[in-house]
Amino acid sequence: MTVSRRDFLKASAAAAAFAAAGASALNPLRPKDADAASTSGLTWGKAPCRFCGTGCGVLVGVKDGKIVATKGDPQAPVNKGLNCIKGYFLSKILYGKDRLTKPLIRKGNRMVEASWDEAMNLIAAKFKESIAKHGPNSVAIYGSGQWTIADGYAAAKLFKGGIGTNNVEANARLCMASAVVGFMTTFGSDEPMGCYDDLDLGDTYILWGANMAECHPVLFSRLIDNRLRNPKVKIVDFGTRFTRTSQMANQYVKFAPQSDLALLNAIAHVIVKEKLYDQGFINKHVVFKKGKEKIGYGLEDKFKFADDPKPMTFEEYQAFLKPYTPEYASKVSGVPAKTIVEIARLYADKSRKVCSLWTMGVNEHSRGSWVNNLIYNVHLLTGKICRPGENPMSLTGQPSACGTAREVGTFTHRLPADMVVTNPEHREKAARIWGVDPHKIPDKPSYHTVEMFRALDRGDIRCMWIQCTNPFQSMPNLNRYRKGARKEGRFIVVSDIYPNRTTEQADVILPTASWVEKEGMWGNAERRTHHFHKLVNAPGEGRSDLAQLIDFAHRMGYGHLFPYKHPEKEIWEEYRKFGEGQGKDLAPYESYVKARGLRWPVVNGKETRWRYVEGHDPYVKAGEGIKFYKNKATNYKAVIWARPYEPPAEIPDKQYPFWLCTGRVLEHWHTATMTGRVMELKRANPNAVCEMHPEDAKRLGIKNRDKVRVSSRRGSVVLTVDLNGRGKSERGNLFVPFFDETKLINELCIDAYCPLSGEPDFKKCAVRVEKA
């Protein structure tokens, strides 16, 4: 077969990315008709991948009412036909032997089969009883960045506009809330100004806490593809452990946990001191502010915090940066002062297009909102923003953490399209669209996720419905919340597809339709909204989350809020009203049925690749250049924030001398509810292990594959030590993935959280290690 240079480069990039992650590319140069014989008789449909927030397009092959094959969609602009290793096994995620197929109700210590009527009547009766005795805030719904847009919209409309409680949260609070606060406080609008095209067009990529080779391998392949085409491309990886991403980067910069705050301020210090900033850009597009300092970590219940921003001048900001010399930051971080200066100059180099990329290393942080602000500071100081190939971008971990949790606003404080419950005009608009009294929507947030589960433990929340997420494996300080769920007087409903550590806590389990067993929309990390059709039926009596919510609404007396014949389509057209004319414009439903996703704002049928910039964004007029048009309060300017360094909520000491960091691995997604049912993925990575530095192990008399007990002030777990794994922890650091339901590493994690976002810090707590 003949291979073009373009195809060769693409295949080489794919192979490099998979090699970086410890896997091999599966026939990346396969001719287009190679699998024609094996796919005869199949009906193919398009869909976004079920896993992370990348939003890869896949083709789904159906035969005899079952998914029998999937492959990368060559017409999908995100992945251009490439899948990661999880994507290759999508056809198997719905067919585990223990798939839930009937409603189950707790009878004593047993779960027994029930009819849908019996289960839904019980749920409605319990919720009504709780509301009557304890008020609307005694009930809650906890959803997911895996909810479809219609799912999340229905949940928000029912609970906020119907029941009258803001007790609506999603697991995106655990991964993306700090990114949201960063965007909102800096630009006045959530989600990036750039898009994935920046991965192809830039030449400098600085990664902060992002193991892209394993957690976003398809996007990482685009970086490698770019580097293969352009020798000028440089990838710098800032990390607390050496990963497959570090191995493929041009430069690995190791730093101490939490010291990113000092490092980014030091980079800004160098840029200002050496006058490397873009004065014209700053004068036209930037204001300066400072917020509260010396604040807590949310470890006490009902912690409240307001940022209380104050304006400042450039000179005052310069004075704020003065202590953050490269030498000071070097002492805090361990990064040589010379390296800090080099990175600052790299950011400011006018001949280079710079992109910053980050994930949970920044967001799951007790000061995650601040770190997001500090990354934007560097781009705003240098004017490297809103242009093709040079933008900051936060990458997401769930298929609709953006489209559902963030855009729909399935958080206690939010409404759709960046609106908030505290703003009376926003409440009035939502009430008008929903057809409810504006006073029905509470004017104050209730509980963010950590506080919601604390309220369940205390008894302030009595009834909680959990849909398509597994919090009793994924929450930090897990022991407290698992015990709290089973206290007397609590009633837990769980909608899921498989038994897991959350269904163990349930009083009612509802079998759920997943992925292409229903119709829906998701939104990915580059503002791209995807549509997918229902291609197969759910097994047994499984029903979609949306169908369950609408059924529940009718039984609760709120059926009039859902008068739909085709709910997915009609909800979409209703939801679109929130963003029209607000820079959040969405296309009509049928446009997404035909397209491989569209990036909002979509105006006159045209998607937007780069926001806030003339020639790309329809909201920026000719002659305006760059305009941060959502920031009306600052005269359409972005904010550079003075955010100080502060130490973590918990640091190692003599009793607990190690740092613990948790995270994901290539083969498994989140708590492995789906990937754990795929034999090939389970066999490739069967159990969580404790990654440890060989010198630390030697000092403690620990050998590779020994059993050790890792303990914190909150719990302990026995693990196998891995000294030769794909990741290499730095001295004094441990890494343990959280996918293994038999090794609940989150029992050890502290539930300290960023006071602005409510997002907990899964990356830093103090532990000790002993031979088991």
Active site residues: 86, 175-176, 360, 397-398
Cis peptide bond N-terminal to 601, omega within 30: yes
> What's the CA gap between 1 and 3, in Å, rounded?
7
Q: Tell me whether residue 379 is annotated as binding.
A: no
Angle at 743 between CA 737 and CA 746, to 5 degrees: 65
* Per-residue DSSP letter, 597: -
Q: Tell me whether residue 305 is annotated as binding.
A: no
Q: Tell me whether residue 84 is annotated as binding.
A: yes
Q: Tell me whether residue 655 is annotated as binding.
A: no
Q: Tell me whether residue 669 is annotated as binding.
A: yes
Q: Tell me whether residue 56 is annotated as binding.
A: yes
> What's the CA gap between 416 and 572, in Å, rounded?
12
Per DSSP bridges, beta strands 733-737 and 689-692 are: antiparallel
Q: Tell me whether residue 668 is annotated as binding.
A: yes
> What's the CA gap between 575 and 416, in Å, rounded?
8
Rg for the chain (alpha carbons), in Å?
25
Q: Tell me whether residue 616 is annotated as binding.
A: no
Q: Which amino acid is at 388?
A: P
One DSSP character per residue, 54-112 reads: T--EEEEEEETTEEEEEEE-TT-TTTTT---TTGGGGGGTT--TT---S-EEEETTEEE
Q: Tell me whether residue 545 is annotated as binding.
A: yes
Q: Three-class SS of residue 616?
A: coil
- Which structure tokens are listed for 163? 């029941």
**What residues have CB less than 8 Å from 53, skipping those under 6 apart?**
145, 395, 396, 397, 398, 399, 400, 401, 402, 524, 525
Q: Tell me whether residue 661 is annotated as binding.
A: no
> What's the CA gap between 442 and 278, in Å, rounded?
44
Q: Tell me whether residue 259 is annotated as binding.
A: yes
**What residues have CB less than 8 Å from 320, skipping those under 6 apart?**
290, 312, 642, 644
By CB atoms closer than 10 A (0-12, 13-18, 19+), residue 66 is middle
Report the candidate in 520, 467, 476 with the shortest Cα–Cα distance to residue 497: 467
Q: Tell me whether residue 667 is annotated as binding.
A: yes
Q: Tell me whether residue 243 is annotated as binding.
A: no
Q: Tell me whether residue 671 is annotated as binding.
A: yes
Q: Tell me whether residue 495 is annotated as binding.
A: yes
Q: Tell me whether residue 360 is annotated as binding.
A: yes
- The sign of the CA dihedral 437, 443, 449, 452 is negative
Q: Tell me whether residue 107 is annotated as binding.
A: no
Cβ distance 167 to 130 under 8 Å? no
Q: Tell me whether residue 738 is annotated as binding.
A: yes
Q: Tell me whether residue 127 is annotated as binding.
A: no
> What's the CA gap between 546 and 555, in Å, rounded?
14
Q: Tell me whether residue 664 is annotated as binding.
A: yes
Q: Tell me whether residue 518 is annotated as binding.
A: yes
Q: Tell me whether residue 386 is annotated as binding.
A: no
Which uninterrupted H or E stretch holds 113? strand 110-113
> What's the CA gap between 530 and 652, in Å, rounded?
44
Q: Tell me whether residue 687 is annotated as binding.
A: no
> What's the CA gap between 605 and 599, in Å, rounded?
11
Q: Tell me whether residue 496 is annotated as binding.
A: yes
Query: Which amino acids are annotated as binding site for substrate, given as ranges?
Result: 738
Residue list for the binding site:
49, 52, 56, 84, 86, 146, 171, 175, 258-260, 360, 470, 495-496, 518, 545, 662-671, 738, 746, 763
Q: Report the binding-site residues for [4Fe-4S] cluster.
A: 49, 52, 56, 84
